[in-house]
Structure 1
Amino acid sequence: MPEVVLADPSVAGVALEGVLWDMDGTLLDSEKIWDVAMHGLAAELGGVMTPQTRQSIIGASGPDALATVFAALALDPTPAALAEADAWMNARVAELFTRGIPWRPGALDALRAVRASGLRTALVTNTDRELAEQALDTLGREHFDVTVCGDEVPHGKPQPDPYLRAAALLGLDPAQCLAVEDSPTGAAAAVAAGCAVLVVPCEVAVPTGPRRVHRTTLEGMGESMLASVWRDAHA
């Protein structure tokens, strides 16, 4: 893929060098799997997962999601209780993942097109490494130069840590990277890190904002779409 250079003279010479992919809800239609597990966790804890609580934790890191659930159910978030809930959740999601993880529309072709372009690529997810490795059996490890998981950084999304680490591992400045996200949490993390963001919402609406370009699907992603998104993100 030829170098994609911004047309705006104020940022001339800043080329798109890397694509940083979110996983749940962006590449894989796995939020529905997490939905089953989250409702099960609430029942296990003696409560009910409301639609409002579930929506508020889409895209959240594991610790943030559990803190929200415990607060919504008026439970004492002791370290032992949180650890037990985390273990239950990870075991349940791992079990559900074994049944197969569906792709988001156009995601596999988009991965292949970006990989073929020669751009550096990373998977950047709030999901812990153990579950991400299981998901990578579906995604294909060959599509990524590096992978960054939620339990490998000090703070998960919406903090910028996962995207900062991914860019550093690729040897890039975040300003040279396009993040692909589906949630408000993920988009906020990518922007905070200094990336441009292609937003393809899945389960919840994502606010517009600087350096964000919204599309309804990953279908048709190739050189021309990447160039268009890159220009629009810096307009």
Structure 2
Amino acid sequence: MPSPLAPLHGRAFAAVIFDMDGTLIDSIPVVIRSWVRWAQEHGLEPERLQGFHGVPAAAIVADLLPPHRHESALSRINELELADTDGITVLPGAAEALAALAPDRCAIATSCSTPLAEVRIEATGLRVPRVVVTADDVERGKPHPDPFLLAAERLGVDAERCLVVEDAPGGLTAARAAGCATLAVTTTTPRHELVADAIVENLGDVAFTHSPQGGGVLVSSRSR
């Protein structure tokens, strides 16, 4: 049986850009608790939240509530999420992936705000790349390409030479729009809903190495 990473074999990437929630860390219990409570407080059925995974909070609020309620509603969901880190864990292979990559060869591009990203990273003790792009850094978040374009720019590389690792359909849409190659993990989304160059269960299936010739980052299957 061919490796699920076969479409990426032989390609040397200038850098790897990781999504955070659902890709590097498991924050789903926190996200569910916070957003369900928020929805109930704002008179919304929690089912209205479906389909927003990976979308910045401001965009979700704007989609669900009238303009005059946006500011207070966004402030409230930020308050709820910042106060809750119970149960956040590092996903399999995430720490090893970040440790294997040189600081100028990896980045995080997340839909979290900067304070929320800092709180969740601190809760896990995960090693932080030099470049972290959050929803506060871009005018348009995922599914627009801006977060990945900015991450590549801050790394000093072309986005077309980057590999994006994502768990959410919206994030993969953003990565493709930025011209990046894509690797999906099935940590939060069924495989059949993910469109990517390669799909694996989690980062525990992936090994990142630097090309001996200095040509970039290579991707291969990791034996468990």
Map Cα deviations across residues 158-212 of structure 1 (whole Å, 9 max, x no partner): 0000000000000000121111100001111111101111100222236454x52
Q: 1:21 aligns with which of 11, 18, 31?
A: 18
Higher RCO structure (Cα 8 Å, ≥6 apart): 2
In the alignment, structure 1 residue 68 sits paired with structure 2 residue 82: no
Would you say the 8 A contact 2:97–2:203 is kept in 1?
yes
In the alignment, structure 1 residue 49 sits paired with structure 2 residue 43: no
Would you say the 8 A contact 1:57–1:68 is kept in 2?
no
Q: 1:74 is matched with which residue? A: none
Could you tell me how far 1:133 is from its partner in structure 2?
1.5
In the alignment, structure 1 residue 113 sits paired with structure 2 residue 100: yes
Q: 2:77 aligns with which of 72, 89, 101?
A: 89
Q: 2:213 is matched with which residue? A: none
Q: Distance in 2 between matches of 1:108 and 1:19?
A: 14
Residue identity opposite 1:174 in structure 2 = A
Q: How does 1:28-177 map to 2 (within 5 A)?
A: 28-50=25-47, 53-70=48-65, 77-79=66-68, 81-97=69-85, 99-115=86-102, 120-138=105-123, 140=125, 142-177=127-162
Map Cα deviations across residues 53-112 of structure 1 (whole Å, 9 max, x no partner): 333111112222113333xxxxxx124x11111111011111112x35212222222222
Q: Distance in 2 between matches of 1:87 and 1:173?
A: 35
Would you say the 8 A contact 2:94–2:204 is kept in 1?
yes
Would you say the 8 A contact 1:178–1:198 is kept in 2?
yes
Q: TM-score, normalization: structure 2?
A: 0.82
Q: Distance in 2 between matches of 1:223 and 1:162?
A: 22
Would you say the 8 A contact 1:184–1:205 is kept in 2?
no
Q: Distance in 2 between matches of 1:123 and 1:27?
A: 9
In the alignment, structure 1 residue 227 sits paired with structure 2 residue 213: no
Q: How many residues align?
A: 206
Residue identity opposite 1:129 in structure 2 = T
Higher helix share: 1
Residue identity opposite 1:227 in structure 2 = V
Would you say the 8 A contact 1:121–1:143 is kept in 2?
no
Unaligned 5+ segments in structure 1 are 8-13, 71-76, 230-235
Could you tell me how far 1:141 is from its partner in structure 2?
7.0
Moved over 6 A (4+): none
Would you say the 8 A contact 2:19–2:109 is kept in 1?
yes
Q: Distance in 1 between matches of 2:204 and 2:104?
A: 18
Would you say the 8 A contact 2:14–2:162 is kept in 1?
yes
Q: TM-score, normalization: structure 1?
A: 0.79
Using a 3 Å threshold, how does the CA distance of structure 1 residues 43 and 197 change in structure 2: closer, same or farther?
same
Helix, strand or coil at the partner of 1:219: helix
Would you say the 8 A contact 1:20–1:180 is kept in 2?
yes
Higher strand share: 2
- RMSD value over aligned CA atoms? 2.4
Would you say the 8 A contact 1:128–1:150 is kept in 2?
yes
Would you say the 8 A contact 2:104–2:130 is kept in 1?
no
Moved more, 26-35 or 164-173: 26-35
